[in-house]
A and B are shown apart, each in its own frame.
Chain A
Amino acid sequence: MTKLLQWLLGVSLLGAIWTVVAFDLLELGLPRTYREVAWPMPLYLLVSFGCYSLATVGYRVATFNDCDEAARELQEQIKEAKDDLKKKGLRM
């Protein structure tokens, strides 16, 4: 099953449960609080996911390592390599 189908399946399943509970389609006689909580769920989940995404990406950008040491080391090794290669007969 492709990821797309997995998502559609998951969303349909949750959507069906939400519709049944929020609109009391099966006349299950659930307490009013269930319906009151269920009704705004989709919007609530969407907003929560949006906030989570922003926070996660923000955190990851802020903690993205800057490899200054690696860049310095590379520069030194480039010099070393050029000298050694010249000795070995490389014509650049």
Chain B
Amino acid sequence: MASRKPLQPNRVNGDKYSVLLPTYNERENLPLIVWLLVKYFGENGYYYEIIVIDDGSPDGTLEVAEQLQKIYGEDKILLRPREKKLGLGTAYIHGMRHATGNFIIIMDADLSHHPKFIPQFIKKQKEGDYDLVSGTRYQGNGGVYGWDLRRKLISRGANFLSQVLLRPGASDLTGSFRLYKKNVLESLVERCVSKGYVFQMEMIVRARQLNYTIGEVPISFVDRVYGESKLGGNEIVSFVKGLLTLFATT
């Protein structure tokens, strides 16, 4: 009997990883992030899919995504676009609806999060069967590129305040580079009501409330956007408001 070459020669354990990529005007970056994801998933033999959730980007991000689909296959690149810019929470819900992975990875599509850390997330998750693994910029050899003193001060100060008030058991609360078990992400997203930075904080806080286990992996965050969009007074005010709301309600 002729031996049949397996479709996924190195598939590990039957686990599948779905990457959720919410995009808005990422025409330039989308192909690059997809290329990197394909590289690191492929090198490690993981079974994966990339779900692009585009919120009606006027710059043609969706059109680039369609090209990527042709190059890499519709089983690897899934498109779940939306009409206009809606919240991040709903983007996750929308993306998860058709996700076939048992693990979900959320990350930014602007290359500030590097897919090379994903195999580390996966390994960490397996180590302790963690319900979620969070990338941290504040511990180990985690760090940031492209931030000046002011930005670092605000970041560390805000994080310190969050640690004192919420005692969350995770070092990086506002980070958005994480790996979740699918059922864990589903149960958390439906409970979270905040917006922006505070949404990511609320996910961690609720995870602790529900006794989910959290693992951490140091990551490097390469900020290429900071030069254009500085962290202004408005964002700081809404962060503090959100933090105090979490403090009073969780």
Contact = CB atoms under 8 A, between A and B. Distances in A.
Contacts of A82: 31-32
Given A4-B247, A68-B145, A57 B35 contact: no
B237 interface: no
A71 B138 contact: no
Contacts of B193: none
B111 A91 contact: no
B35 A3 contact: no
A67 B167 contact: no
Interface in A66-80: 66-68, 70-71, 74, 77-78
B250 A81 contact: no
A51 interface: no
Nearest to A69: B220
Assign chain A's interface to a size class.
20 to 34
B30 to A, nearest CB: 10
Contacts of A85: 31, 35, 71
B149 A74 contact: no
A92 interface: yes
Given A2-B248, A74-B111, A89-B71, A64 B156 contact: yes
Contact of A67 (B71, B155, B160, B221): B221
Interface string A21-60: 0000000000000000000000000000000010011001
Given A57-B160, A60-B138, A70-B114, A90 B249 contact: no
Interface string B13-41: 00000000000000010011001100000
Contacts, number: 87
Contacts of B220: 65, 67, 70
A54 B182 CA distance: 40
A79 B71 CA distance: 18
B42 interface: no
Looking at A56, A60, A84, A89, the one whose CB has the most chain B CB atoms below 10 A away is A60
Contacts of B236: none
B34 to A, nearest CB: 9
B141 A61 contact: no
Given A65-B143, A66-B143, A70-B114, A3 B166 contact: yes
Contacts of B28: 92
A84 B165 contact: no
B77 to A, nearest CB: 12
B222 interface: yes
Interface string B209-250: 000000000001110000000000000000000000011111
B143 A64 contact: yes
B142 interface: yes
Given A64-B152, A66-B144, A82-B32, A57 B222 contact: no
A70 B64 CA distance: 26
Nearest to B155: A64
B67 A3 contact: no
7 contacts: A2-B247, A53-B164, A61-B156, A64-B152, A67-B222, A71-B145, A90-B67
Given A66-B143, A66-B144, A70-B114, 4 more contacts: A56-B160, A60-B160, A66-B145, A82-B31
